[in-house]
Amino acid sequence: MENKIDINKIIEEKSLEINFKPITSVIKQSVIGFEASCLGYKVNKDIVSMETLLLQAENESRTIDLDRLYREKAVEKFSDVYNDNKEILLFINISASIIKNFIGSGIIMDLVNSFKLNPQNVVLEIVEDKVEDVEGLKKFINYYRNEGFLVALSDIGYGFANLDKISYVEPDIIKISGAITENIDLDYYKQEIFKALVNLSKNIGALVIGDGITTKEEALTVIELGADMVEGDYFGNSLEITEKFISKAQKAVKNLASDYRKYMVDKISLENTTHKKYEKVIGNILEELSKIPEKEFNNKLNEVILNNNEFECIYVLNEAGIQITDTLTCCKDMLSQKALIFHPAIKGTNHSLKKYYYFLVNMSLNKYITEPYVSLATGNLCITISAIFKGLDDKEYILCIDFNPNDINF
């Protein structure tokens, strides 16, 4: 099929297929913009991808013309909806590899002016992993940012690329890749990565778009984790920005806002129930330990770990932070390679510099809950809850329990 493609004819007849995806804000309960991407060239019922077209265009020195045609068609189609809504944004892709051809040309500015768009409504989305001409990219961004355009970085979190670009692009918007958002509702590690990228974005003053959203559960999760906007097939896509298309996307985001309110109410209710459950369990353990001599702590902890599968590890410290029991754990089948660096602490281990001891004692608290961290006992992510109790001998002890963060919310 590729051999029959006449790239010159495609450019002359402006035969590219442009696809639009809504970018939505659940907080505002509205569609705030559209990303325009090029599907390629339609041949009968098949689509020749933009990647294939670019390869052929490169062979015939028409890459710039093909790229220009994509933006021209995107801006032209967007201009109709812009005339009805002056707050709507257009996201157009800018390939980092050909930016050098635009520096100082003002070609994008001329295009936007020709359709009477405000540059502030146009987001230049820098795509492509490898940037060979960093200085050229900086000049391009500075020129168009000074003209009022917004700048976005796409595919953050995909592969090993793009994080370095944040430092010299200084984006207004960061789009976190679908590689991170896919099944994020089920993946604790992806959630932590997303949160870290959100924190980074907030610290540099950039808004966050959770990209590649295909399910309601993914959307609810990224919103909870701090995304300002969400984008993906969940909200639909269309070759034209019609009233029907906008209305459908608007309905989807309003329904999502309603679902998010219910989701948060249900989550808070579940967390309160879980909190009360574990408070009761921990309270019972503390009460039982306070009624037996220190030499019997080990047997009691063994009994506790057998009856509570959600506990990964349990152990007791003295008031100086020295471990006085074994570490009782449900993790019996650790991989041999993990066991070389991760193993339960033994009796006599000094925990006095660990947060679950240090903050508990020095802040005069009765209970302390850590942030998630990698347990040296199991190699798993865990949360440690520490609580003070008095033993039969009237000495103060500290009970420490490790949980998987997916199993508990305090």
Residue 181's CATH number: 3.20.20.450
Q: Which residue has the tokens 């979190």?
A: 157
Any idea of the CA torsion for 240, 246, 249, 251, to the nearest 10 degrees?
-150
Residue 311 shares a structural domain with residue 201? no
Please tell me which residue, 26 or 164, carries the higher pLDDT value.
26
CATH number at 364 reads 3.30.450.20
- How confident is the model at residue 290, as a pLDDT? 96
Nearest-angstrom CA–CA distance, 162 and 160: 7
Residue 43 shares a structural domain with residue 192? yes
Residue 45 shares a structural domain with residue 184? yes
Q: What is the pTM of this model?
A: 0.79
Domain membership flag for residue 321: yes
Sequence-separated (6 or more) residues with CB below 8 Å from residue 45: none
Domain membership flag for residue 346: yes
Please say if the pLDDT value at position 129 is more than 70: no
If pLDDT is split at 50, 70 and 90, which confidence band does 162 have? Answer: low
Residue where a domain stops, chosen among 241, 267, 298 = 241
Domain membership flag for residue 256: no
- How confident is the model at residue 340, as a pLDDT? 61
Please tell me which residue, 331 or 240, carries the higher pLDDT value.
240
Quick check: 20 and 8 in contact, CB under 8 A? no
- How confident is the model at residue 21, as a pLDDT? 97
Nearest-angstrom CA–CA distance, 150 and 164: 19
Domain membership flag for residue 6: yes
- For residue range 85-123, what is the model confidence (pLDDT) as tens digits? 999 999 999 887 777 766 667 889 999 999 999 999 999
Residue 307 shares a structural domain with residue 233? no
For residue 124, the cross-strand partners are 92, 151
Alpha helices in 14-152 (DSSP H): 50-59, 63-84, 107-114, 134-146
Please say if the pLDDT value at position 77 is more than 60: yes
Domain membership flag for residue 24: yes
Domain count of the chain? 2
Nearest-angstrom CA–CA distance, 356 and 108: 56
- How confident is the model at residue 275, as a pLDDT? 80
Domain membership flag for residue 254: no
Average pLDDT over the chain, rounded to an integer: 89
What separation in angstroms does the CA of 137 have from each of 20, 94, 120? Answer: 26, 11, 20
Please say if the pLDDT value at position 277 is more than 90: no
User: Residue 168: which domain range?
Assistant: 2-241
Residue 307 shares a structural domain with residue 221? no
Please say if the pLDDT value at position 31 is more than 60: yes
> Region 352-360: what's the mean pLDDT?
95
Residue 103 shares a structural domain with residue 200? yes
What separation in angstroms does the CA of 7 have from each of 47, 94, 96, 356? Answer: 14, 20, 22, 65
If pLDDT is split at 50, 70 and 90, which confidence band does 368 have? Answer: very high
Q: What is the DSSP letter of 370?
A: P
> Region 199-228: what's the mean pLDDT?
96
Please say if the pLDDT value at position 73 is more than 50: yes
